[in-house]
Amino acid sequence: MAQEGASFADTIGAYLHAFAARSELLRMFAWEGLTRQSGPRPRDTEPGEAPEVADIRRRQAAGEIADDIDPAFLLIFLMGAAMGVATIPRHIEQICGIPVDSEEFVSMCERQVRVILAHLAGSRPEAR
């Protein structure tokens, strides 16, 4: 979903559209978390920073995201927002007034993510 050289907003937009097209992926992630056994779980990756966090840190250095934002927590917040579509869709629909599985919702969500990310970078949102 992430294209080489794509902006952070474009990358997040691609994820929004991919999850809208395959909403079962979000439900699978939610189910995995809800059914997780207690106790330590072996890491699936090498020790160190997650690649997604490293990418956000790189984007911070390039000026796409303000320096005072913790990349790991930004990723967690974005993941939580995406998961809401799978875990509390009716509540989101009540708040927004449109179905979460509609193209209108996905488009509105992408526009708002672009505005939020522009503010997080300390710049004005690009016109779209």
**What's the pLDDT tens digit per position in 8-58?**
889 888 888 888 888 888 888 888 888 876 655 555 556 688 899 999 999
Question: Is 3 inside a domain boundary?
Answer: no
pLDDT at 2: 58
pLDDT at 108: 94
Structural domain boundaries enclosing 117: 8-29+49-121
Question: Is 15 inside a domain boundary?
Answer: yes
Question: Is 113 inside a domain boundary?
Answer: yes
Number of domains in the chain: 1
- The pTM of the full predicted model, rounded to 2 decimals, is 0.77
Question: Is 111 inside a domain boundary?
Answer: yes
Q: Predicted confidence band at 122 (pLDDT cuts at 50, 70, 90)?
A: confident
Place of tokens 């993510």: 113
Question: Is 38 inside a domain boundary?
Answer: no
Question: Is 39 inside a domain boundary?
Answer: no
Mind listing the pLDDT tens digit for each residue in 53-90?
Answer: 999 999 999 988 999 999 999 999 998 888 888 889 99
CA distances (Å), origin 15, targets 36, 42, 68:
24, 26, 24
- The shares of helix, strand and coil residues in the chain, as percent rounded to the nearest 5, are 60, 0, 40
